[in-house]
Structure 1
């Protein structure tokens, strides 16, 4: 696999999808439909998905593609594939809160090796480069010529004063009880896969997730965090989170900087 070529394609598709999404986001009104799993979907999800999936299939015709918005791709089984969430954080999008992202990732042998996370309303673009190092690109963004790139590295965490980031819409008592096991200096709620990126950039130390997620929700952010030296493990036994699972559903997990001393699940 030519990872330099892959990341050029992923970056460009993420930016193009972001532009399509922002056109809908900035319109006066847009329709919100409900999928069979009761989650919301908008024309922005659908337009971004069509653009990204067509681009990936053209560029990488021999790599299986899994995308949230195309149920027929959810029967793809194996441990090497491209995986897309064209608009992660649709609830954030619908409520015009800005914390939504475009997620594109490449998984090989169950491990997210490359990924891009683009938050168009926040003007933040994170991705792994050809070598696997995670960078944040500074806008304004040009489709063909990258702007200034800042290599990212997770923080050297102070376990007596951790910065925790958690989901905006899935903070329940079980999560609060787990967070209470740590010495926390501050905590922040954020939507979508931006939580992984905040750890990758050193802006947070740990992100525990006890709610339901799918692999397309996490793969790109996982790759971005790994490329900055971070880790994502299962909540129950702290073994690495793997991809290509049945139905693409994740167990509960913890994303963190490796200097964080993880607490047991119970």
Structure 2
């Protein structure tokens, strides 16, 4: 796979999907329905999915595409595949809190090698370059031209004063109990895959997730963080989080900057 071309396509599709999401976000009212797992879905999820799925099929017709909004794709198996969450953080979208993202990633042999995370309401765009390093692009964004880029690198963490980011919508007692094992100086809450990006930029050092997630929720953010020098590991044994698992469901995990001394569960 030619990564230069891939990232050009993924970046453009994320921006196109983001434009459509923001168009619907600006409406006075939009329908919110419940899926079979009781999670919410809106016209924005479906419209963004249509844009990204069509774009990937046109650019990479032989590639496998797994996407949250197409249940039939959840049975697909491939060593290499695109994985998409067209609107990660639908609850944030519905509550108009802004912390939602477009996530597109490329996975090979269990590893998310390339990805893009776009937070259209926040005006933040993160993506991995062809060489695998991660950048944040400055707004405004043009679909046919890349703007000013900042190469991202995780923090040099102080284990006596760690900065932690946790879920805005899924915070629970188990997460708080685990965080309490660390010496912390700052605590942030954020929605969607932005939490990975905050670790990638050095704005946070540690993001533990003790709750159900799917691979489309995490793959793009994982790629962004890895490209900035961070890691994502399983909560139970601290081995690298793998992708392409049956059903695409994740175990609990920890995302962190290199240098954080991980505590046991």
Coarse TM-score class (shorter-chain normalised): over 0.9
Helix, strand or coil: the match of 2:258? coil
Whole-angstrom CA distance in 1 between matches of 2:155 and 2:222: 16
Whole-angstrom CA distance in 1 between matches of 2:78 and 2:2: 20
Which ranges of structure 1 fall in alignment gaps of 5 or more residues?
A: none
Whole-angstrom CA distance in 2 between matches of 1:199 and 1:34: 31
Helix, strand or coil: the match of 2:78? coil
**1:261 Cα deviation after fit:** 0.3
Whole-angstrom CA distance in 2 between matches of 1:183 and 1:147: 38
**What TM-score, normalized to structure 2?**
0.99
Number of corresponding residues: 265
Whole-angstrom CA distance in 2 between matches of 1:78 and 1:239: 22
Whole-angstrom CA distance in 1 between matches of 2:33 and 2:201: 34
**What TM-score, normalized to structure 1?**
0.99
**1:108 Cα deviation after fit:** 0.4
Q: Is the 8 A contact 1:40 1:90 kept in 2?
A: yes
Helix, strand or coil: the match of 2:158? coil
- Alignment-derived partner of residue 183 in structure 1: 183
- Alignment-derived partner of residue 44 in structure 1: 44
- Alignment-derived partner of residue 96 in structure 1: 96
- Alignment-derived partner of residue 247 in structure 2: 247
**1:141 Cα deviation after fit:** 0.5
**1:79 Cα deviation after fit:** 2.7
Helix, strand or coil: the match of 1:98? coil
Deviating beyond 4 angstroms after TM superposition, the runs of 4 or more aligned structure 1 residues are none
Q: How does 1:88-127 map to 2 (within 5 A)?
A: 88-127=88-127
Which ranges of structure 2 fall in alignment gaps of 5 or more residues?
A: none
Whole-angstrom CA distance in 2 between matches of 1:139 and 1:175: 34
Q: How does 1:1-266 map to 2 (within 5 A)?
A: 1-265=1-265
Whole-angstrom CA distance in 1 between matches of 2:59 and 2:218: 23
